[in-house]
Amino acid sequence: MTSSLLPILPVVDDVLFNFAQSDGFWVNLESAFGTSYDAVKATELRQQWQSRNFGQLPPIEVLSDEVLGTANGAYSSSTNKIYLSASFLNTASSAAIVNVILEEIGHYVDAQINQTDSPGDEGAIFAALVQGEVLSPTVLAELKTEDDQGWLEVNGQNLEVEYNNPTVSLSLTSPSTVTEDGPQNLFYVFSRTGDTTNSLTVNFTVSGNATFNSDYGQRGATSFGTTTGSVTFAAGSSVVILSLDPSSDVVSDGNETVALTLAAGTGYAVGTTGAVTGTILDNDVAPGTVVRGSIAKSQYGTRHEYGNRSAFAALKSDGSVVTWG
C-alpha cells in the first residue's frame, strides 16, 4: 500500500464507524444489497465497525493504468483485494479517493453477506448512503441497472472484478441566463476524474421548453437531438465544453429553458445527478402590446413635424403597426 493512502484510511474508518452507529443502518443496507442478505454476517460487520475493528477489510493494492485501464478502482472477491489506479491516486482529491475506497468496500460487503452479486452498482449505492447522501428514486433505479462487472489481469491471473469507473460531472458557466439575440452563449462543462488516457463518450438527456434548431443551436456535442445527446472526451482531456447558441426570432414566446442531465453509460459513473438548466430570455414584443415612448409623428403634406412624448403604437406579431396614437 502506498504511503499516500495513510491519511485517507482514517477518514474511511470514521465514515464506516458513523454508519454502523446510525439509526438508518439496516434501511440503507437494504437499499444497497437487497433484503435477502445474511443478517448474521451483516450484524457481525456492524459490531466490528462499531468497535472500530476494521481488520477484516480487504487490503489495497495500487496498479498501473496499463492494468486498470480507465477505472479508478476495482474489487475482486477471488483475491479479496481492492485495486486502485496509480494515476487516480496522484491526481484525485482526498474526497474522491475516499469515495472510491468506500465503493469498493461496498462490493466487498456484498460478497460477504450475499451469495449472489446484488443488481447494479451496489458499491456506488453503498458509498453514497454511508456518506449521508440521499439518492432519489430515479438515481437509485439507474444505479440498480448499471453494469459494474469486468475482468482484470493481475500478475498473469484473470480476475472477475467490480469496477469503480471515472466520475463525470456537469456544470454551467456564468452567465446561466442569456438573451436570444445577445452575444453570449450557454456553456455546459463536462468534466471527468481519474485516468484520461483513453477517449470516453458520455450520454445526457435534453429537456426544457426551448426547441433545438429553432431556439438554439449547438457546438461541441458528438450527437445532439431533441431529447438525448452525447459528448466525447478526447484522449488526454478531462473537460468537454458544449456551447448552445440562442437563435433570434420575431415571435414573442416567453423565456425558455434548456436542461441537460447526465445519463448512465459505459465506462463512467454519473457525478451530477440533477438537471443543469440554462435560460434564454425572450426580447420580442407580444402581439397587441402597447409600446410607449418618445416617437416622432409626421404630418405629411405640410412642412411641420410634431413630437409626441406620450405616443404609442400597437403592434402585430410581424412588427407592423396597427394604430398610432
Structure confidence by residue, pLDDT tens digits, 52-100: 999 999 999 988 877 777 678 888 888 899 988 888 888 888 888 898 8
The Cα 165–Cα 22 span in angstroms is 28
* 307 vs 116, more confident: 116
Name residue 84's beta-bridge partners: 62, 73
Quick one: pLDDT at residue 78? 85
Mean pLDDT confidence for 225-230: 94
Pairing label, strands 81-85, 60-63: parallel
Quick one: pLDDT at residue 40? 97
Q: Report pLDDT digits (tens) over 139-175.
A: 788 778 766 666 655 666 666 566 667 778 899 998 8
Q: pTM score, two decimals?
A: 0.58
Quick one: pLDDT at residue 137? 84
The Cα 106–Cα 294 span in angstroms is 70
Q: Let me know: does 84 contact 62? Beta carbons within 8 Å.
A: yes
Identity of the residue numbered 99? N
Q: Is the pLDDT of residue 47 over 50?
A: yes
Q: Report pLDDT digits (tens) over 192-204.
A: 876 676 789 999 9
Q: Let me know: does 165 contact 72? Beta carbons within 8 Å.
A: yes
Q: Is the pLDDT of residue 234 over 60?
A: yes
Quick one: pLDDT at residue 119? 82
Place of cell 479508478: 72
Q: Report pLDDT digits (tens) over 241-288.
A: 999 999 876 666 678 999 999 987 777 878 787 899 999 998 655 555
Residue percentage of the chain with pLDDT more than 90: 43
Q: Let me know: does 200 contact 70? Beta carbons within 8 Å.
A: yes
- Which of 30-39, 96-105, 303-312 comes out lowest in average pLDDT? 303-312
Quick one: pLDDT at residue 175? 87
Quick one: pLDDT at residue 150? 64
Q: Is the pLDDT of residue 114 over 50?
A: yes
Please give the class, per CATH, of domain 168-281: mainly beta
Where are the chain's structural domains?
Answer: 3-165, 168-281, 290-324
DSSP H/E element including 113: helix 94-113
In b/e form, how buried is each residue of 272-304, taking b as 16+ CB within 10 angstroms? bbebbbbbbebebeeeeeeeeeeeeeeeeeeee
Quick one: pLDDT at residue 171? 93
Name residue 233's beta-bridge partners: 200
Quick one: pLDDT at residue 301? 41
Q: At what angle do helices 94-113 and 39-50 cross, to 10 degrees?
A: 140
Q: Is the pLDDT of residue 110 over 80?
A: yes
* 310 vs 245, more confident: 245
Q: Let me know: does 120 contact 145? Beta carbons within 8 Å.
A: yes
Quick one: pLDDT at residue 142? 73
Determine how many CB atoms are found less than 10 A away from the CB of residue 247.
15
The Cα 199–Cα 177 span in angstroms is 31
Q: Is the pLDDT of residue 27 over 90?
A: yes
**Cell numbers describing residue 120:** 447494479
Residue percentage of the chain with pLDDT more than 70: 77
Quick one: pLDDT at residue 49? 98
Place of cell 449547438: 218
Domain 3-165: assigned CATH number: 3.40.390
